[in-house]
Amino acid sequence: MLVLTRKPGEKLVIGHDIVVTVLEVRGNHVKIGIEAPDSVRIVRAELKAVQPEGQSQGESSDLDPWQAYQHRFPLAVC
């Protein structure tokens, strides 16, 4: 794992066409912006880990990550 220190407004480049910008640091929260081609799928790790029941790790899902999250953890309206 590469570990870098960046300040708000500073960027890092991944490959030729992905740019990550530190937008804001507030306490223990960091807001980042990611510029990437549409062909690059960007998903938060906690949503990537959520998969519909019966689907193995190697299978791809037709559900986007949010749909997969809702499928696994249905929301109730009170």
What is the residue-level pLDDT of the chain in tens, covering all 78 positions? 999 999 999 999 999 999 999 999 999 999 999 999 999 988 888 877 775 555 555 555 566 665 665 555 555 554
CB 32 within 8 A of CB 22: yes
- Regarding whether 52 and 78 lie in a shared domain, the answer is yes
Amino acid 31: pLDDT? 95
Give me 3's structure tokens: 């570990």
Our count of domains for the chain comes to 2
Domain containing 34 equals 7-38
DSSP H helical segments within the chain, as ranges?
45-48, 65-72
Amino acid 45: pLDDT? 83
- Regarding whether 53 and 29 lie in a shared domain, the answer is no
- Regarding whether 53 and 78 lie in a shared domain, the answer is yes
